Amino acid sequence: MGYVYLALAIIAEVLGTTALQACDGFTKVLPSSIVVTGYGLAFYFLSLVLKTIPMGIAYAIWAGVGIVLIGIAGAIFFKQIPDIPAMIGMGLIVSGVAVINVFSKTVSH
């Protein structure tokens, strides 16, 4: 169940961060509400994740996947297209998360 909660935490964080771009300094009510709700849910689910997945591993996955999804959301919703070095960097982050999940004995499966 830990990985289900982790996926929910990541989704909530990505929604919150995407809305953060649109809330215009918390001057727009709907995007601001999504930011607060998204981050609240993200941290709630992350707290549940930490019952079964070690903190460092959970955070590495959360941050790594979140960075890539935020990059995609920025490209789709705000036309913020990452350049080649940014895409390579994101690829390295995904590779690092994959190495952790495949090879680390710290990960509880």
Instruction: Convert the pLDDT of each residue in 33-42 to its tens digit.
Output: 999 999 999 9
Q: Can you tell me the distance from the alpha carbon of 93 to that of 65, in angstroms, rounded to the nearest whole number? A: 8
Does residue 9 contact residue 46 with C-beta atoms inside 8 Å? yes
Q: Can you tell me the distance from the alpha carbon of 4 to that of 12, in angstroms, rounded to the nearest whole number? A: 12
What is the pLDDT tens value at each position of the chain, 109 positions in all?
A: 999 999 999 999 999 999 998 999 999 999 999 999 999 999 999 999 999 998 888 988 898 899 999 999 999 999 999 999 999 999 998 898 888 878 877 765 5
> Domain boundaries in the chain?
2-103
DSSP 8-state secondary structure symbol assigned to residue 27: T
Residues 6+ apart with CB under 8 A from 30: none
The pTM (predicted TM-score) of the whole model is 0.85
